[in-house]
């Protein structure tokens, strides 16, 4: 009889209950699986939450690969410096292009390279879906005042933002991109049908959800959801989704009505606001 601790199933490595989260990245990479390369000064930040729940199980099952590239290993001099003072003066430090290029050379070739940056295009469900359909991605986790522009231009790096705010570094943002994308890979979620009803799946926010008990603190589940009339339920959910989107995300609502990319709508809205503010300033 074979040892159950070393036996394999369906060509994948067996899962040992004693493993720590980072052990998931120490195992051999699964050929052909969707792969995330992460260039970071803090490889110990991974897998983080990506090693838990469904994404963690999918990682253990070989449905996707996670690989960190420690940027410090490619630093210069005695102290492995990865940054220097900004050209033209100013506060802070800028990540060197030669150091970053050396680290990127160790990433899987052919994958799109993405830099997590507050000045990047807003990350959307549509972009996540497109990335999930590809072979993977290489993420650059920035620090300090950012990354030398020459590296971004030379390596055709895509800049993506997860929101209009600034983080200490790109590691948390990288986990957001990976989590959003990996869950769209077939077989990662137990119920793929649930993806069709999520927020942004059809350009709208998701409708409200309810479960047992039917009455809680004097609040009842809407009767239509208990009616068994599936057509009425679908109509109710659509109206709820439209109402919430119109109220909370007018940019998504405009894009939904016009068939426009929500990210482009936000950019146009921002340009319109700047133009309006400029006209008002001239009047003053």
Q: Does 166 count as an annotated binding residue? A: yes
Q: Does 165 count as an annotated binding residue? A: yes
Estimate to the nearest angstrom the gap between the alpha carbon of 190 and the chain centroid. Answer: 20
Q: Does 11 count as an annotated binding residue? A: no
Q: Does 142 count as an annotated binding residue? A: yes
Q: Does 163 count as an annotated binding residue? A: yes
Q: Does 162 count as an annotated binding residue? A: yes
Which residues fall in the annotated binding site for S-adenosyl-L-methionine? 142, 162-167
Which residues fall in the annotated binding site? 142, 162-167
């Amino acid at each position: 009889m074979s040892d159950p601790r070393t036996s394999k199933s369906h060509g994948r490595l067996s899962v040992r209950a004693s493993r720590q989260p980072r052990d998931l990245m120490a195992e051999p990479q699964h050929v052909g699986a969707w792969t995330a390369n992460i260039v970071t000064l803090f490889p110990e930040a991974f897998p983080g939450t990506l090693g838990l729940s469904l994404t963690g199980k999918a990682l253990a099952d070989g449905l996707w690969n996670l690989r960190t590239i420690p940027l410090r290993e490619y630093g210069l001099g005695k102290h492995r410096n990865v940054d220097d003072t900004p050209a033209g003066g100013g506060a802070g430090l800028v990540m060197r292009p030669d150091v970053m290029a050396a680290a990127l050379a160790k990433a899987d070739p052919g994958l799109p390279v993405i830099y997590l940056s507050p000045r990047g295009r807003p990350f959307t469900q549509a972009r996540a879906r497109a990335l999930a359909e590809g072979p993977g991605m290489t993420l650059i986790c920035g620090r300090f005042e950012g990354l030398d522009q020459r590296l971004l231009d030379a390596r055709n790096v895509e800049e993506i933002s997860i929101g209009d705010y600034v983080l200490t570094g790109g590691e948390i943002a990288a986990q957001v991109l990976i989590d959003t994308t990996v869950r769209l890979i077939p077989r990662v979620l137990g119920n793929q049908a649930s993806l069709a009803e999520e927020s942004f799946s059809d350009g709208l926010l998701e409708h409200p959800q309810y479960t047992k008990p039917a009455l809680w603190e004097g609040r009842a589940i809407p009767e239509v959801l208990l009616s068994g009339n599936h057509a009425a339920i679908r109509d109710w959910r659509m109206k709820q989704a439209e109402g919430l989107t119109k109220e909370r995300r007018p940019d998504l609502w405009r894009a939904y009505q016009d068939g426009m990319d929500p990210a482009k709508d936000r950019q146009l809205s921002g340009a319109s606001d700047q133009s309006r503010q400029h006209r008002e300033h001239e009047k003053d």
